[in-house]
Amino acid sequence: LAKTTQPISMDSYEGQEVNITCSHNNIATNDYITWYQQFPSQGPRFIIQGYKTKVTNEVASLFIPADRKSSTLSLPRVSLSDTAVYYCLASPGGDDKIIFGKGTRLHILP
Amino acid sequence: DTGVSQDPRHKITKRGQNVTFRCDPISEHNRLYWYRQTLGQGPEFLTYFQNEAQLEKSRLLSDRFSAERPKGSFSTLEIQRTEQGDSAMYLCASSLATGNEQFFGPGTRLTVL
């Protein structure tokens, strides 16, 4: 499973767009990039998944360049409720288990 | 269906006691996973089931830990002779066999005194 590296923490303000970058230099051909969100005292929640280029859903966008060695999770117009830990994962599609790193602690300020 | 449920939500026990946790997955999901999470860390994979078969166990799962999913529905995780180092949040997740998304429960927080 490819190792991912992401910032330990980030601060932003309400209403701003937040971009969290994740590097995965040794990503394999059959790996997908997946992001999970976790609030305190709750289990992680799937946000978005992609393989290449751009994926967008009602919550976020995921940008993956052609070399796939990094990816960027974009959260538009964040609110205080987006304060959470965000995990970037690189693993084969349909993989049996998820290997989480320490994630990025995003703190949204008023 | 309201999602993955876990019981109890909190458990306080004394060192050396046995504890058992229960996980009820989303009904149509045939895969079930157990993770452990300590403060400031991401969840660590422990084991997973496809239906009633336990297909993989992490080396983190010592012989004091055992998990079952007898009828391919709910699962139990038992820790025997608990140690203070077992204090953590125990998370359960479920998914479809062909799906990439795992749905997590709220977790059981274990405190070993």
pLDDT beyond 60 at B1? no
A94 close to B (CB below 8 A): yes
How many angstroms separate the CA atoms of A16 and B39, rounded?
Answer: 29
pLDDT value at residue A1? 62
Chain A residues in contact with B48 (beta carbon < 8 A): 96-97
B67 close to A (CB below 8 A): no
For B54-101, what is each residue's pLDDT tens digit?
888 887 788 999 999 998 899 999 999 999 999 999 999 999 876 668
Mean pLDDT across chain B, nearest whole number?
92
- H/E stretch holding A84: strand A84-92
pLDDT value at residue A95? 59
Q: Which residue is closest to B4 within chain A, CA to CA? A: A43
**Alpha carbon of B79 to those of A1, B58, B112: distances in Å?**
28, 15, 11
Mean pLDDT across chain A, nearest whole number?
92
Q: Which residue is closest to A33 within chain B, CA to CA? A: B100
- Neighbouring C-beta atoms of residue A46, cutoff 10 Å: 18
Chain B residues in contact with A41 (beta carbon < 8 A): 89, 106-107, 109
pLDDT value at residue B99? 61
A100 close to B (CB below 8 A): yes
Among residues of chain B, what percentage have pLDDT more than 90? 78
pLDDT value at residue B58? 85
Alpha helices in chain B (DSSP H): none
Q: Which of A108, A3, A21 is nearest to A72 (CA)?
A: A21
What residues of chain B, 34 to 53, have a C-beta less than 8 Å from chain A? 35, 40-45, 48
More confident position, A6 or B62: A6
pLDDT band at A93 (very low <50, low <70, confident <90, very high): low
B82 close to A (CB below 8 A): no
